Amino acid sequence: MKLLLDIGNSRLKWAFLNPELQAGDAIAHAGSAFARILDTIRPEAAPTEIRAACVASPDICHAVESWARLRFALPVHWARSQVSVAGVRNGYADPGQLGVDRWLAVIAAFHRAHGAAFVVDAGTALTIDVVTAGGQHLGGLIAPGVATQRRSLRNQTQLRASHEDASMAWLAEDTDRAIALGTIHGQIGLIERVRAGIFAEHGDMSLFLTGGEAPRLASELSMKWQYAPQLVLEGLALLPPESFSLPK
* 110 half-sphere exposure, CB direction, 13 A CA radius: 25
The 3-state DSSP class for residue 120 equals: strand
Quick one: 115 exposed, middle or buried, by C-beta within 10 A (0-12, 13-18, 19+)?
A: middle
d(CA 112, CA 74): 30
**In a 10 Å sphere around its CB, with 0-12 CB exposed, 13-18 middle and 19+ buried, how is residue 94 labelled?**
exposed
Residue of 25, 59, 101, 176 with catalytic role:
101
| Residue 210 one-letter amino acid | T
Is residue 101 annotated as part of the catalytic site, yes or no? yes
Distance CA(107)–CA(160), nearest Å, equals 40
Rounded Cα distance, 155 and 164, in Å: 15
Beta bridge partners of 27: 12
- Residues assigned a catalytic role: 101
